[in-house]
Amino acid sequence: MSHGLMFHHFSDGRHPRGQGAISAREFKDILDYIGIDRILPALEWQDRSLAGTLPDDAVCLTFDDALRCQMDVAKPVMDSLGLTGFWFVYSAVFEGQIGKLETYRYFRTMKGVDDFYRSFDTAVSHSQWSEEINSSLKKFDENSYMKEYTFFTPADRKFRFLRDDALGPVRYEYLMDTMLEEEGFDAQSLAPLLWMNDESLRELERDGNIVGLHSYSHPTAIEREEPDRQREEYSKNRDHLKSVLRSAPTTVSHPSNSYNATTLEILASLGITLGFRADMKFGLSQLEQPREDHSHIMMTMGRR
Ligand SMILES: [Zn+2]
């Protein structure tokens, strides 16, 4: 069945090879493996998806999170092959805010993932919440937690459980910011290396790509937010893209694959007609189209 291919991080001389990052060569290999002729231009994909005339074996390319490395590494490869895609952008980082998700990831990459997980475990166990966290950890089972993400290691799973389930966003950020500060890590100066800017978005649009919504601040679980907060997330995201691009956005990908019925209503009311999940659940609405993570494809290729 037709679906999107989902990409996040790329590496080259400037962009370090963090977890899951792929080089230009690997990107090209994935596209060849998929079959270049199966990959529809973004605008054609959008039209045919809405018309219900997508060929069964068609795929499209999608890029989440407005990452500078996508512009620097993936876009030149696509340009050379005459390909276009969907680029889903969260706006806070275009307006001077620090995207914590990405900053923390960069910190983790520079530190080395194993070393990072060790330091994080130590920070958790030395925190004022250690007792509560220890008792929540009894509910954690590394074999069943986020089982659908087959490429996660047991340590990845434990970290995600601690972050998303045991600590929650406020306490997690508090612990992380403390760690960054203790190690003298300067987040602000990294921004131009981590994220695109408005000019990048104009370039994407000019070259036939589609730029779509991905919320304003990229909450890890927008479905848990009140309807007003959800609406604010997507309205501010839409306002930003509208002010930069020639036309208002009509597409979305759900940040961290999170949404509920309210989110979908809000998106529809903002004029969004096509949306993507971050997994391969088929048969849902036009705002919940399936996507396959590039790491799954690499595993099928026998690369990871
Ligand atoms: Zn995202």
Contacts 24+ apart (CB under 8 A), 96-102: 97/217, 98/187, 98/188, 98/191, 99/65, 99/194, 99/195, 99/218, 100/173, 100/176, 101/65, 101/218, 101/220, 102/65, 102/67, 102/194, 102/195
Instruction: Give me ligand 1 centre to Cα 52, in Å.
Output: 26
pLDDT number for residue 16? 93
Instruction: Give me ligand 1 centre to Cα 114, in Å.
Output: 23
Name the nearest CA neighbour of 279 among 102, 151, 157: 151
CA distance 204 to 224: 32
Per-residue three-class SS string for 73-117: HHHHHHHHHCCCEEEEECCHHHHCCCCHHHHHHHHHHHHCHHHHH
Instruction: Give me ligand 1 centre to Cα 253, in Å.
Output: 8
- 191 near 98, Cβ under 8 Å? yes
Instruction: Give me ligand 1 centre to Cα 182, in Å.
Output: 27
Instruction: Give me ligand 1 centre to Cα 218, in Å.
Output: 7
Can you give the C-alpha Rg of the chain in angstroms? 19
pLDDT number for residue 79? 98
Instruction: Give me ligand 1 centre to Cα 237, in Å.
Output: 13
Instruction: Give me ligand 1 centre to Cα 74, in Å.
Output: 17
- 11 near 177, Cβ under 8 Å? no
Q: Which residues, other chains included, contact 82 with Cβ-Cβ below 8 Å and sequence gap of 6+? A: none
Instruction: Give me ligand 1 centre to Cα 39, in Å.
Output: 22
CA distance 39 to 53: 15
CA distance 297 to 304: 9
Q: Per the CATH hierarchy, to which homologous superfamily does domain 3-97+195-300 belong?
A: Glycoside hydrolase/deacetylase (3.20.20.370)
Instruction: Give me ligand 1 centre to Cα 43, in Å.
Output: 21
- 258 near 225, Cβ under 8 Å? no
Instruction: Give me ligand 1 centre to Cα 131, in Å.
Output: 32
Tokens encoding 196: 């695109």
Instruction: Give me ligand 1 centre to Cα 258, in Å.
Output: 10
Instruction: Give me ligand 1 centre to Cα 8, in Å.
Output: 8
The domain ranges of the chain are: 3-97+195-300, 100-189
Instruction: Give me ligand 1 centre to Cα 256, in Å.
Output: 6
- Per-residue pLDDT in tens (0 to 9) along the chain, 304 residues: 999 999 999 999 999 998 889 999 999 999 999 999 999 999 999 999 999 999 999 999 999 999 999 999 999 999 999 999 999 999 999 998 988 889 999 999 999 999 999 999 999 999 999 999 999 999 999 889 998 888 789 999 999 999 989 999 899 999 999 999 998 888 888 999 999 999 999 999 999 999 999 999 999 899 999 999 999 999 999 999 999 999 999 999 999 999 999 999 999 999 999 999 999 999 999 999 999 999 999 988 986 5
Instruction: Give me ligand 1 centre to Cα 119, in Å.
Output: 25
Q: CB burial class (10 A; 0-12, 13-18, 19+) of residue 15?
A: buried
Residue with tokens 């209503």: 265
pLDDT number for residue 303? 66
CB atoms within 10 A of CB 243: 10
Residue with tokens 């899951």: 20
Angle between helices 113-125 and 130-137 (to 10 degrees): 120
Tokens encoding 54: 């997508």
Angle between helices 227-244 and 198-206 (to 10 degrees): 70
